[in-house]
Each structure stands twice: as structure tokens, then as C-alpha cells.
Amino acid sequence: MSDIPVKRNHMKIPWHNYVSARNSQPITEASLSEKASLIGRTGMMLLSCGTGAWRVRSSMNTLSEALGITCSADIGLMSISYTCFDGESSFSHALSLTTTGVNTSRLNRLEHFVSDFPAEGIHMSGEALHSQLDEIERIHGLYSPTALGLASALACGAFTFLLGGGPLEMILAFAGAGIGNAIRCKLGKHHFTLFMCIAVSVSSACLVYAGFLKLAELLFHISVQHEAGYICSMLFIIPGFPFITSGIDLAKLDMRSGLERLAYAIIVVMVAAVSAWLMALLLHLKPVDFLPLELSAAQRILFRLLASFCGVFGFSFMFNSPVRLAAAAAFIGALSNTLRLELVDLAGFPPAAAAFFGALTAGLLASLIKTKVGYPRISITVPSIVIMVPGLYLYRAIYNLGIMSLNVSASWFAAAILIIVALPLGLIFAGSLRTKCSATAPDGHTKRTAFCSFRSSAILLITGAIQKQSFFVHSISLRSHPRSRSFFPGGPQIYGWVEKRPVRHNVFHHPPQNPAHNTQKLLEASSELPS
């Protein structure tokens, strides 16, 4: 019997067929359909990287403005419907993805493509631009299934310690998560369904953990109470990226994308939790509490910093981040997650409130690092706080629901929901503290609130919260441009100057007309800030 080729359910779009035959023609002089094809393809590639709807729409708007047209887009989890207008006619497309995932390496390249387009891309032909996108599209996985398995093993092993586990639980979770995620990657490359990949990988992780624990019990007489760590071996499957981006989309009123991402994340969690619950029943595992660790306060903080760094580094690898990007996210995650845990232990903060300040800290630190390394903020912030997603809470909620302990299940669900809501709120609030509003001065430069504006406000906010005191941010009256406004109402406003250039290259400086006068104004304004 002859082999019958399998037809794709989603047909491949021949993007180069939209390109005019005159390949040397700049894209600004091309037809509306050619311009719209470039905009739509860029948006779909950004969406396939796992970024939120707001960022996809912002990138599509950047390309549209540079091409002299208008674009209106409706964006979901795996589809985009958009229409482009040039004042005389319109062109509409409805595009969809075959699958969804996270690829921060490709996202970084696309962000650079979009930011460079107004200065460089408008002079290139449509064929050359689509060839660049072809090159970016070929960036699939930077790492093999074995490397991804080791990354998830490192992340889940570190996760185990942060949740209270000891060395034995960490070793067993390392083995279970490594094998489980390697199997998931292998199944994904063979295009197995989402449910199959999740169920098989989670079941494998739990089976490996239980098998090695039984072997250690027989050979070394290890206590069976170490079984608590089996939950940690499956936490590589928790969809932290969709959870966080769904919250950001909902906050920005991108309801379709936010609700679809939330539904996707809930489906993944439910399938994973039910699979782990069934394996727990078969293997007689229970999510008991971890055995206490005898550590001093200094040792606990040091190990938490190290474990948080390793955990975020591993998750960043799983998101296909290059080493430098993964290290930047891990550095932020180490500081912000350790702060979160210490706020709970030392200051008695509720877990949700501590998660908010942890995400806020991660967002502020990412704003600083972004100016140094040039990576997209979402590629740094989201991996750095993924480790804060309460996977343990979600699983215990499903487990207790399965054994009909409804009160206990509801408590775990409520705690998990509060933390999941707090994480994107922290990132959103950190973004509002950044300088986002600008006004154009008469001399052609752009007037923006300086970094010290959000820095001063953030210090006041975080300090007051940590001390658990009631505080108010007092308004400080300074000279400001009449059209300027701050995203932190009542906060100190100090204005600087920035040239019009791509975002990642923004550098504050004084206007060339009278630098001494502007320096004096900044010094006078700074002296009015509260000590």
C-alpha cells in the first residue's frame, strides 16, 4: 500500500506571493496588500512567541505608522483578524497559528526588527523584509530535548528547596522533572496533542520520583515522608507565562486575548493536576508537608538566592532564551523571589501581597537592565516571576477536590487565585512607574519624565509597605511642561530630555541650546525632594 501524505490542518501562507515583481521597490511605495502582508506576518510571529496582545498590537501599529497606513487588529491566543486602511481602500486578513508556545530568542529578534523598521526597514523592498522574517522564523529551539530536560530538572530541583524540600526531595525532583520534560519535548516534536504531551510527561515524572524513592527506601532505609516532593517533579508543566500575560492583557482590556490565555492556562493546569492525582492514587503518594530544615536566617537567605537564580535560569532555558538573557532574568528572579519569601517569613505578609511586591521589584529591576542589555522587558520580567506562580497550591487544590475535601480545596484555590492575580498587577504597576508619557517640545526634542521620577515613587511605596505603615505620597510642585503628566498621580515630577531614537537606545541628556541652564533647573528640582 502506498504512503498517503498527511495534509496539514493549517495551510502554509505563501507570503512572498504578496511581494511586487519590482523587488527593488521600497516597501513604502508598495501596494496596500503588500504592506498589510508584512504587518500581519510580523504580528503572527510575535504572537507565536507567547507575548501579549498589547505588545503585538503596538508592534503592528509601529509598522503601520512607518508605512503611512492605519491598522485595526483583533488579537486572540492563536489568531489575528486585522484590517489595514490607506485612505482610499482597505485590506483584511484573518490569520491563525497551528500551536502556541514561548520563544524569547525569536521574540528578541522580532522586537529589534520592529524598532529598527522606521529608520531602516522603510528603505528596503518587500522581498528583502520577508527574507529577514524568513530568517527569524527559522529560529525554533536553541536547545535539544536533553538540554531542555536538564533545564527543567535544574528549575524543579531549585523549586523544591524554595517550597521547603530538603536535599533528597531536590535530587528526586531533579530526576523526575528532567525525564518528564525530555519526554514532553520528544512528543511535541512528533506533533502529539497537547493533552497527550501533558498527561504522559506528568505521569512519567511522578513515576520516576516514586520509583527512585522506593529504591532509596529499600537500599538506604529513607523515610517514606519524603514523598512530598513528587509534586515538585511535575511543576515544569505549570503555564506561568500564559497566566501572567493573560492578567496583563485583561488589565489592558484586551479581553479576547486575556480570556483565551487564561482558559488555555486553566486547561493545562487541570490536565496536569488530574494526571498527577491519578498517579498519586496508583502509587499511594500524598502531598504531605515537607520535613523541616534546620537553617539559620543567613543560610536560608543565601540558599534562597541561589535556588531562585537556578530556578529562573532553568525556566528561561525552557523558554528558549539565550544564555545572556537567561542570566539577566535569573539575576532579577533571585532578588525579587527572595524578597517575596522573606516578606512572608520576616514581615508576616500574606503570600499574595508578598507576590505583588516581588513582581513589582522584578519589573523595576527589568527596566534598569533593559537599558543595558537591550532585551525586551517581557523576555526578562515574565521568566523572572514564573517561579512565583503557585503550582503547588493549584495541585493541592485539585488533589483535595478529588478526595472531596472541599473546604481544604477551596482554601488552596483561593490562595492560588490571589497570587496569580497579584503577579501581573505587580508588573503593571511597575510599568506605570516608568516614564511612559511624553510631550514634544517646540525645538523638536521629546520631553519625558526622568528615571528619578519613578525611582523616588517606588522607594516611597516599597519602603512604606515593608515597614507596614500607613503612608501617603505627597504631591511635590515642580516646574513641568503644561502638556506633560505623570503616571503616578501626585508623585514627584522631574523632567529631562531625550532624543528621538529607538527605545532601547534612549539616553537622557540636556538640550544643546543651553545645557548649563537645564542642569541648574534639574538641581533645583532635586533639592525640593523629601529626604
Q: What percent of the chain has pLDDT over 90?
A: 46
Q: How many CB atoms lie within 10 A of CB 11?
A: 7
Asked if pLDDT for residue 498 goes beyond 60, the answer is: no
Which residue bears the cell 537606545?
A: 505
Buried b (16+ CB within 10 A) or exposed e, 104-139: bbbbbbbbbbbbebeeebbebbbbebbeebeebbeb
The region of weakest confidence among 96-100, 186-190, 387-391, 467-471 is: 467-471
Domain boundaries, the chain: 25-137, 145-433, 438-527
pLDDT at 140: 78
pLDDT bucket at 437, cuts 50 / 70 / 90 = very low
More confident residue, 459 or 387: 387
Burial of 285 (0-12, 13-18, 19+ CB in 10 A): buried
φ/ψ of residue 246, rounded to 5: -65, -40
pLDDT at 461: 45
Asked if pLDDT for residue 110 goes beyond 50, the answer is: yes
Q: Grid coordinates in use for 411? A: 482554601
Mean pLDDT of the chain: 80
183-225 pLDDT tens trace: 999 898 887 888 999 999 999 999 999 999 999 888 888 877 7
pLDDT at 13: 82
pLDDT bucket at 432, cuts 50 / 70 / 90 = confident
90-96: strand order across its sheet: 70-75, 79-85, 90-96
Report the pLDDT averaged over residues 368-381: 73
pLDDT at 170: 94
Q: Look up the pTM and report it.
A: 0.77
Report the pLDDT averaged over residues 133-138: 90
The region of weakest confidence among 91-105, 342-356, 362-376 is: 362-376
φ/ψ of residue 79, rounded to 5: -150, 155
446-449: strand order across its sheet: 438-440, 446-449, 495-498
Report the pLDDT averaged over residues 145-172: 92
Report the pLDDT averaged over residues 155-167: 92
Asked if pLDDT for residue 178 goes beyond 90, the answer is: yes
38-72 pLDDT tens trace: 999 999 999 999 888 989 999 999 999 999 999 99
Q: List Cβ neighbours of 291 (8 Å cut-off, separation of 6 or more).
A: 166, 223, 225, 226
More confident residue, 16 or 114: 114
Q: Grid coordinates in use for 191? A: 506533533
φ/ψ of residue 96, rounded to 5: -145, 150
Asked if pLDDT for residue 367 goes beyond 60, the answer is: yes
pLDDT at 192: 87
228-285 pLDDT tens trace: 889 999 999 988 889 999 999 998 889 999 999 999 999 999 999 999 999 999 988 8
Residue 169 near residue 139, CB atoms below 8 Å: no
The region of weakest confidence among 130-139, 326-335, 470-479 is: 470-479
